[in-house]
Structure 1
Amino acid sequence: MQRLLTVILACLGMVGALAIDTYLPSIPAIGRAFDVGPVAVQQTLSVFLFMFAFMMLFYGTLSDSFGRRPVIMVALTIYTLASAGAALAPTFGALLLCRALQGMSAGAGSVIGQAIVQDRFTGADAQRIMSHIMMVFGLAPAIAPVLGGWLHVTFGWRATFVFLALFGTVMLLATWKLLPESLPAEKRHAFHGVAIARNYLKVLGHPQFVLLSLSVGLAFGGLSLYIGSAANFVMEILHLPETAFAWMFIP
């Protein structure tokens, strides 16, 4: 049971990474399909990352109030529908909206997954499970653009979003069938928006926390710049095909 739980939580953590990286080889084709420039297409990544980061502030609190499973399942439902919407998007504006919804829902698994580990395990067991989850999470960004490249070459750019919708469906079913609730009702806290805002203001007044957050944020910002420029670098500067992203992402 512990091994199965680790696999499910690791896959839930992969949801965001797959949504960020799988469609990168398709960025030039998306621009051509909707007749928009590269700067506009980059907004599909920027909008996703903004919503992804913003909602990460709230998933822990939401799951403390409403339970771990319900929040994950609602988020996965939104993610799956948004992925399907992106695959069928008739306009660039519709694609941007679907990417925003994807970003809003993609971070639930990674945040709440850590909370589930803390609910169920302590000490060395918790550390071991978290290390396994992070190992799988680290593989996702390397594998996703390679998979996305082959999907694009074989089926076209919309196929990458079909894959994301299918992955979201599988994770939704796995959560429903196999992931038990780890926070009983008697341990939950009432949801009070004013109290939450007050707590965030208190945390932001703690210098050490702010500095640590900025250090992590700058590192993630560097990774985001690397990811955002990957399509242009691989295909426009190096003139490599959509299937060549492994040269940048596997190392």
Structure 2
Amino acid sequence: MDYRKKNSYRRNDFLQALIDIKDRETAVSGTEEYRFTFNEIIANTLLYMLAGYETSAGTGMFAAYELAKNPAVQAKAKEEVLKVLAKHNNEWTYEAQNDMTYINMVLEETMRKYPPMRALFRRCNKDFKVPDSDFVIENGTLLFIPIQAIQMDPDIFENPERFDPERFTPEKKAKMHPCHWMPFGEGPKKCLGMRQGYIQSKMLLVKLLTKYELSLDGKTEDPIRIKATSFSGAPDSAIWIKLKKNEI
């Protein structure tokens, strides 16, 4: 920000949009006007990197790991990618990625086992009586929602440690309770960047699968453990994957 101010330098990017908001006299939020601060620029920039980059990169990494472990799933995913790309003149377009149903299923099963955000925090905005109990969550209570625990619950997903994209066929997903799978959250606070996240992670898998065959390197801990101290889902040790170039 200092460099841009001192050198009258502008770019058409996210940071510039935040700087422009800060430089206005006031910004409007609902019915209130307030000053946009430097700390809010820091917070929004950090959020953009964490929510817009780290989550997609992590999902792509875990998906590549599971594809390397499960050759049959990898072969089916590769078959769909090549078939869809051929249909779209071998061009990666928005329409092409929309046609990749099985790749969607692979990503959704990946986010079930390895949710980008392991938990959600929500504040109750009115008293709520938990059904079939006398317990009342009082207005103002901060709630911790353990996404990873819910999505690995054997009463919800049979044999949850098994990687099985077939859990997320369009037919099965339509019957699924919306709060049994919440890597993007749920309700009015659901992640605004959901479509962007899908596209970024899909692009990673498409680029890999069209060029390489994936297999696990012996240096990779298997099964991997999730780092206990990580806010965003991350492995406790490095993931190493061998890439063998596809035969032409």
Q: TM-score range by the shorter chain?
A: under 0.3
TM-score, normalised relative to structure 1: 0.24
Higher RCO (C-alpha under 8 Å, 6+ residues apart): 1
TM-score, normalised relative to structure 2: 0.24
Q: Which has the higher helix share?
A: 1
Q: Which has the higher strand share?
A: 2
